[in-house]
Structure 1
Amino acid sequence: MTRPLGIILAGGQATRMGGGDKGLLTLGAQTLLDHVIARLAPQVDAMALNANGDPARFDGFGLPVLPDSIAGFPGPLAGVLAGLDWAAGQGAKTIVTVAADTPFFPRDLVARLQAAADGQTHPLVLAATEGEAQTRSKSRSGLIRHPTFGLWPVALREDLRDALQSGLKKVVLWTEAQNGREAVFDASVADPFFNVNTPEDLARAEAMV
C-alpha cells in the first residue's frame, strides 16, 4: 500500500503550559517536535507541520508550515483540512496526522491505521486504545479514541470543509458520519499516546526518555 503523507498537528494554544508552542519544549537533548519527526519520518513519504502564527519559528525543522484555513482555532479538524489541502496539491490520496506533543506514539502507527482501513473506499481510521485506567471519552465500542492520530482521505476534504464552515468542531462526530473505523492499540502497560499538556507531564516524559 502506498505510504501517506504525514501532518504534525501543532495548532493548539497550549493554555495549560502557559501558552506558546509545546512542540518547541525541550525533552532530553531535543525538542518534542524532534522526537515526533523522528518517529513519523520512516512511516510516511513526506511531512508538513500544521501551525498558526509566524512560521519562521519552525524554520529549523525544514518542513512546510500549513496554517489553518478556517479562522478562530476550530480545533484539530482544521489542521486535518489544511493537511488534506496540501496533500491534494502533492497528488496524494491520504494523510496521517499525529500530535506535536506526543513523543512516544507507535512506530507502526501508519501500518496499523492502514490495515484497519482495508476495504474502505475512503480510508478513514482513528487510533484508539484499550486497557487504560484513565477516564476519557469513549467510543460506542468502549475504546478510548485519540482523534489527533488518524488516517484521512483527500477525497473527503470538501465534505470536511463544509462541516467545519457549518461550525463542527468535534472530530468523532465527523468521522462517525463518514463510517470511520478505529485501529486499536494496547495501553494496559503504558499509554502509547501519552501527551505533554502540563509541566508535570513534561517531567514525566523526561523520566520516560
Structure 2
Amino acid sequence: MKLVTTDIPLTQGVLLAGGLARRMGGGDKPMRTIGGRTILERVIARLSPQCSGLILNANGDPARFASFGLQVVADDVPGFPGPLAGILAALDWTAANRPGVEWVLSAAGDCPFLPRDLVARLHDARTRENAQLAVAASGDQSHPVIGLWRVALRGELRHALVVEDLRKIDRWTARYPLATVTWPTEPLDPFFNANTVEDIAEAERLAALDDAS
C-alpha cells in the first residue's frame, strides 16, 4: 500500500507498561527476555525511529526501568483504571513538556514485533479519512491500545475517565471519527503480545523469524 503522507507530524510515543501481569504471576511483562533481549528493548528499538520521543507509562517504583533511559510517567487517575489512564497521562505529559507536539502514539509495552511503518500508516489513514483518532488492527482483530491520540482531546478523556468512570478504549473511541489500519498476520502478527508463560515460548520462535527479516 502506498502512503500519501509526505510530512509525518511530530508524534510523542508512550509505551504502556502499567499492567499487573496476573497471567504471568505478577511482575513487569516488558522485562521478560526473548531472543536475548527484553521485550521492552525490542519495543523501544521499533518505535524510537518513528517517534519524536518516547516515554514509559508505568506505576510503582520507576527505578526498575532506569536502565532504559526513558522518562517514566505514572497514572494520576487512582485505582488502576486501565490503559486509558496511561494514554491520558501521556497526553497531559506531552501538553506540559512538548507543547509543539499535537499527537501521541500509544503502544503496549509487551508487543515486541511492532510494525516499522506503524506511525506513518496511522497518520496516513487519519489524514485520508479526516479522523480524530487512529488505531491498529491485524487480521480480524482490532488493537485499540495501539493508536494515535490527539493531545487536544485530553480534557474530554479525563472527563470520561473521572466523571463517567469509562474504562474501555473502544467505548471512548466510538465517540469520534476513527480510522483503523490493518496489517497482515503473516509471516507473523506484528501485534503479538506476550500475556502468558506459553506466549513467551511462542515469542522466542517468532523472534527468530523477526530477527532474520
Q: One fold, TM greater than 0.5?
A: yes
Question: Which consecutive unaligned segments of at least 5 residues does structure 1 have?
Answer: 131-142
- Counterpart for residue 5 of structure 2: none
Q: How does 1:43-192 map to 2 (within 5 A)?
A: 43-89=50-96, 90-91=98-99, 92-118=101-127, 123-130=132-139, 143-165=140-162, 166-187=164-185, 189-192=187-190
Contact 1:68 1:79 in 2 (8 A): yes
What number of residue pairs does the alignment pair up?
A: 197
Match of residue 195, structure 1, among 193, 196, 200: 193
> Residues of 2 paired with 1:15 and 1:163: CA distance?
26
- Compute the RMSD of aligned alpha carbons: 1.4
> Residues of 1 paired with 2:174 and 2:131: CA distance?
13
> Residues of 2 paired with 1:192 and 1:43: CA distance?
15
Match of residue 206, structure 2, among 185, 188, 208: 208
Q: TM-score, with normalisation over the residues of structure 2? A: 0.89
Please tell me the residue identity of whatever aligns with 1:168: L
Contact 1:94 1:123 in 2 (8 A): no
Q: Do structure 1's residue 34 and structure 2's residue 31 form an aligned pair?
A: no
What per-residue deviation string (whole Å, max 9, x for no partner) do you get for residues 94-136 of structure 1?
Answer: 0101111110011100001001111566641010122xxxxxx
- Counterpart for residue 3 of structure 2: none
Contact 2:188 2:206 in 1 (8 A): no
Please tell me the residue identity of whatever aligns with 1:93: E
Q: TM-score, with normalisation over the residues of structure 1? A: 0.90
- Counterpart for residue 211 of structure 2: none
> Residues of 2 paired with 1:185 and 1:87: CA distance?
28
Percent identity of equivalent pairs: 50
What per-residue deviation string (whole Å, max 9, x for no partner) do you get for residues 11-69 of structure 1?
Answer: 00000010010011111221110000000000001000000000010110110001011
